[in-house]
Structures are given as C-alpha cells and as structure tokens.
C-alpha cells in the first residue's frame, strides 16, 4: 500500500515537472519580450539574459506613442474589430437560427454553399475579391475589410451546430405561447448560446485584431492602417530600436489578452458544444 502511494507521488511529480517545463517554453518568448521592452536597445542582447532589468526603462512605453501614430492605429483596429465582431455575431446567429430550427425551400442547397467554402483558402479568391472592392471603389477604406470579414461561413456553421443541440420542443412551446420567430431567437436562443457566442467572439476578435494580409492589401494610407501593419512599419523603420519594438509589441498584445482572459472560461465548453471537434 505504502509502496504504490509513493509511486503515484513520483509519477505526479513527473507530470508537474513536465507541465511546468512546457509552460515555461511556451511563455518564454513573452517573458523575453516584456523584459526587453524595458531595456535600452544595446542591452537587449546581453547574455546571460538579465530577466528583470536593474534599471527598467519605462520611457520606452511613452516614446513609442510619439515615434508612430500608435494611438491612431489602435483606434482603427479597435473600430474594425468591434464592428466586424458585432456584425459577425448578429448575422451568423440570425442565419444559423433559420438553418437549425426553420423549414424552408432550398435550405440544404444554401447551407451547402456555406460548407463548400469553409475549406476554401481565402488566398484562392483574395485577388478577385480585391478587384471587386476596387470596382466598388472601396480600396483604402475600412468598409472593405468589414465586408471581407463580417460574413463568414465559419460563423454560421459554428452557431448552427450549437443551435442543433438545443431541443426543438423549446421553440415549439414558445410558438404555442404566441412568440414569433424573432422573439424566440432573441429571448430563448441568444441567452442559451453564450458558450458558442463567446467562442465566436474570441475567434472573430482575434482573427480581425491580428489580421495582417487583409490590411496589407487594402490599406496603404497611413491614417487608415491597423496595429499589425503599423507595428510592421515601425519594425522596418526603426529596425535597431529593439527596446521600442518590444514595447510596441507588448502594447499590441494587451487587448487580445484581455478579451481572451475574460471569455476563456466559456471557450473549452464552446469548442466542445459547437461540434468544432468534428
């Protein structure tokens, strides 16, 4: 009895050691980034690494705002991200309700149209999309990126999978109580779909906030740029200012970190219930 207990303890210690070691490797680049963001550029590469700078240079964090219009880039990105995420949540859950709970002609054909494009790499049609936007005179506008990202097959698919798991009887009962379909969607389905909505929010927020290729193709005017291409611009302009680059990178990471941490408790549940695992 005693022997097995000790063996269990040893294996548990091994598990903890492994997990902690992997976590350190995963987070090391972030720790290095944070540490370097508080250093003078010439101290960034000093080896052995001084993890906690003895004289933290907080000025790096004030200086970046004057070197590039960082505040403007953050404003642009926030605007885009919030509009895209809201439109995505609203239109996807709206369409998904019909696909999951209503009967109408050409339902399967329409849904197949969505499914068929999920596996289609965006890069396959990004050129014609660009030409279309140019035709609509939408190049160098934020509207182009909103149209591009707000209506995805992925969102409809994810929400539909979740709604399928809600029993039809719930809708039937509400119909007998005299609710119309819009009321059922707003008062019954939406409150029930928090995990799926959170998952979709994380995905949409993260993809839009971090999108690089889209803004790079569509936005060439500095005053329209997003944080990702702004950061990229900063890196190529001040390629030797390592401390500043790291400080700007930390600033670019923070909003995603906040959204992710505040919604992550729904996340595993959301992935599981929306059938994302297949």
Partner 1 sequence: MSGDAAKPVRVRRKVRVVSRRRRRVENTLVAYSFIAPNFLGFAVFTLGPILFAFALAFMHWDGSNPIKFAGLDNFWRLFEDRAFIAAFWNTIVYTVVSVPLTLACALGLAMLLNQKIVGRDFFRTAMFFPYVASLVAVAVVWNMIFNPEMGPVNMLLYTLGLDPKDMPGWAADRHWAMVTVILFGVWKSMGYYMVIYLAGLQGINSELYEAAGLDGANAWQKFRHVTLPQLAPTTFFVTVMLTIQSFKVFDQVYMITQGGPGTSTLVLVYHIYNEAFISWDLGYSSMIALVLFFLVLAVTVIQFRRQKED
**Is 40 a residue that touches partner 1 (CB under 8 A)?**
no
Per-residue CA distances from 232 to 32, 224, 225, 248 (Å): 19, 14, 11, 10
DSSP letters for 216-260: HHH--SGGG--HHHHHHHHHHHTTT-HHHHHHHHHHHHHHHHHHH
Shortest Cβ distance from residue 46 to partner 1 (Å)?
9
DSSP E strand stretches across the chain: none
Shortest Cβ distance from residue 38 to partner 1 (Å)?
14
Shortest Cβ distance from residue 54 to partner 1 (Å)?
18
The only residue of 86, 113, 165, 220 in contact with partner 1, by rule CB under 8 A? 113
Report the chain's terminal Cα–Cα distance, integer Å.
43
Q: Which of residues 226-245 bind partner 1 (CB under 8 A)?
A: 227-229, 231-232, 235, 242, 245
The only residue of 1, 103, 169, 178 in contact with partner 1, by rule CB under 8 A? 103
The only residue of 212, 222, 223, 237 in contact with partner 1, by rule CB under 8 A? 212
Total number of residues that touch partner 1 (CB under 8 A): 93
The only residue of 13, 19, 112, 186 in contact with partner 1, by rule CB under 8 A? 19
Q: Which of residues 132-191 bind partner 1 (CB under 8 A)?
A: 132, 147-148, 150-153, 155-156, 180-182, 185
Element (H, E) at 20: helix 2-36
- Segment contacting partner 1 (CB under 8 A): 1-9, 53-61, 63-71, 94-102? 94-102
The only residue of 105, 167, 178, 191 in contact with partner 1, by rule CB under 8 A? 105
**Are 255 and 78 contacting, i.e. CB atoms less than 8 angstroms apart?**
yes
DSSP type of residue 266 = G
- Segment contacting partner 1 (CB under 8 A): 2-10, 65-73, 119-127, 164-172? 119-127
- C-beta of 114 vs 162, nearer to partner 1: 114
Site string for partner 1, 42-81 (x = CB under 8 A): --xx-x-x--------------------------------
Count of CA atoms in the C-beta half-sphere (13 A) of 154 = 19
Give the whole-angstrom CA distance, residue 161 versus residue 158.
5
CA 91 from centre of chain: 18
Shortest Cβ distance from residue 67 to partner 1 (Å)?
15
Give the whole-angstrom CA distance, residue 145 versus residue 88.
13
- Segment contacting partner 1 (CB under 8 A): 15-23, 52-60, 68-76, 190-198? 15-23
**Is 94 a residue that touches partner 1 (CB under 8 A)?**
yes
């Amino acid at each position: 009895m005693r022997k097995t207990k000790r063996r269990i303890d040893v294996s548990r210690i091994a598990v903890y050691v492994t997990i902690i070691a992997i976590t350190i490797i995963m987070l090391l680049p972030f720790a290095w980034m944070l540490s370097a963001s508080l250093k003078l550029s010439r101290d960034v590469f000093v080896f052995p690494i001084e993890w906690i700078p003895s004289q933290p240079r907080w000025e790096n964090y004030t200086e970046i705002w004057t070197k590039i219009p960082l505040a403007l880039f953050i404003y642009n990105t926030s605007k885009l991200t919030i509009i895209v995420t809201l439109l995505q949540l609203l239109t996807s859950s709206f369409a998904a309700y019909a696909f999951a709970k209503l009967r109408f002609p050409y339902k399967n054909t329409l849904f197949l149209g969505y499914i068929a494009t999920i596996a289609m790499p965006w890069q396959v049609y990004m050129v014609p999309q660009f030409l279309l936007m140019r035709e609509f005179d939408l190049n160098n506008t934020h509207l182009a990126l909103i149209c591009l990202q707000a209506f995805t097959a992925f969102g409809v698919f994810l929400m539909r999978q979740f709604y399928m798991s809600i029993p039809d009887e719930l809708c039937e009962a509400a119909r007998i109580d005299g609710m119309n379909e819009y009321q059922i969607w707003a008062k019954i389905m939406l409150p029930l779909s928090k995990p799926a909505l959170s998952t979709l929010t994380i995905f949409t927020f993260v993809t839009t906030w971090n999108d690089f290729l889209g803004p790079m193709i569509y936005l060439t005017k500095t005053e329209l740029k997003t944080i990702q291409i702004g950061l990229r611009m900063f890196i190529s302009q001040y390629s030797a200012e390592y401390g500043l680059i790291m400080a700007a990178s930390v600033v670019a990471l923070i909003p995603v970190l906040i959204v992710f941490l505040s919604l992550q408790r729904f996340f595993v549940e959301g992935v599981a219930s929306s059938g994302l695992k297949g």
